[in-house]
Amino acid sequence: MKWKVCGMREMDNIQEVAKAKPDYMGFIWAEASPRYVGEDFVIPKDVLGKTIAVGVFVNRAVDSIIDLSKKAGFNWVQLHGEEKDKEILALKKAGLTVIKAISVSDIQDVKGLSLAPDFYLFDTKKGKQTGGTGQRFDWNILAAYTLDKPFLLAGGLSKENLDEAIELGKKYPIHAFDFNSKVEIKAGLKDVQEVLEISKRLAEN
Ligand SMILES: O=C(O)c1ccccc1NCC(=O)[C@H](O)[C@H](O)COP(=O)(O)O
98 neighbors 91 (Cβ within 8 angstroms): yes
Q: Which residues have CB under 6 Å of ligand 1?
A: 6-7, 26, 28, 30, 33, 35, 56, 58, 80, 123, 130-134, 154-157, 178, 180-182
Give residue 128's pLDDT.
75
pLDDT digits (tens, 9 = 90+) for 95-142: 999 999 999 999 999 999 999 999 999 999 987 777 778 999 999 999
Topology of the domain comprising 2-204: TIM Barrel (3.20.20)
**What does the pLDDT profile of the chain (205 residues) look like in tens digits?**
899 999 999 999 999 999 999 999 999 999 999 999 999 999 999 999 999 999 999 999 999 999 999 999 999 999 999 999 999 999 999 999 999 999 999 999 999 999 999 999 999 998 777 777 899 999 999 999 999 999 999 999 999 999 999 999 999 999 999 999 999 999 999 999 999 999 999 999 8
CA–CA distance, 138 with 164 (Å, rounded to integer): 12
- 178 has which bridge partners? 4
99 neighbors 65 (Cβ within 8 angstroms): no
SS3 content of the chain, % helix, strand, coil (to 5): 30, 25, 45
3-state SS assignment for residue 65: helix
Give residue 30's pLDDT.
97
4 neighbors 26 (Cβ within 8 angstroms): yes
Q: What residue spans define the domains of the chain?
A: 2-204
Nearest ligand 1 atom to alpha carbon 36: 3
CA–CA distance, 26 with 4 (Å, rounded to integer): 7
